[in-house]
Amino acid sequence: MQTFMANPKDIERKWYILDAANKPLGRVATEAARLLRGKHKPIFTPHIDTGDHVIIINAEKVLLTGNKAQNKMYYRHSRYPGGLKAMDYQTLLATKPERAIEKAVKGMIPHNRLGRKVLTKMRVYRGAEHPHQAQKPEVWNYEV
């Protein structure tokens, strides 16, 4: 018996909606990374993109447990000397909640060209509205 390897013709992509309202940031990010990679499918192959499209709604209502909202920092750099910018997650969630979820999911997928391709299938929206009704997305229920 041979090991199954997925081909591009074997892959069927679906669209899923994850509701981040009142759920911890890490739990939402791990479930999104799992769907994006395709690990929930029996045809999962590590070196091929077998994942689905993921729409994350209610990003502004995501939770951080403990004191992470005040203590956890978000860093970015302008690539100029002295260009380090720091922001705590409480401020980040108030101003750009989509960026917080994107950063969390990006850290959970491979850091190579496959990971960059996988990330293009994720869409994050601040509120409950999204423009992807034509794709007939299914709501993905997951435990917290």
133-142 contacts: CB < 8 A, separation 24 or more?
135/15, 135/53, 136/15, 137/14, 137/15, 137/16, 137/17, 137/53, 137/55, 138/14, 138/15, 138/16, 138/17, 139/16, 139/17, 139/19, 140/16, 140/17, 140/18, 140/31, 140/35, 142/18, 142/27, 142/31
The pLDDT tens digits for 52-105 are: 999 999 999 999 999 999 999 999 999 999 999 999 999 999 999 999 999 999
pLDDT in tens, 32-46: 999 999 999 999 999
Locate 59 and state its tokens. 């990003």
Q: pLDDT grade, residue 144 (50/70/90)?
A: confident
In a domain, 20, yes or no: yes
With cut-offs at 50, 70 and 90, classify the pLDDT of residue 1.
confident
pTM for this model (two decimals) = 0.92
pLDDT of residue 142: 86
User: In the chain, how many domains are there?
Assistant: 1
76 within domain boundaries: no
Examine residue 133 and state whether it is found in any structural domain, yes or no.
yes
Say which CATH number the domain at 128 has.
3.90.1180.10
Q: Which domain holds residue 132?
A: 13-62+96-139
Is there a domain that residue 83 lies in?
A: no
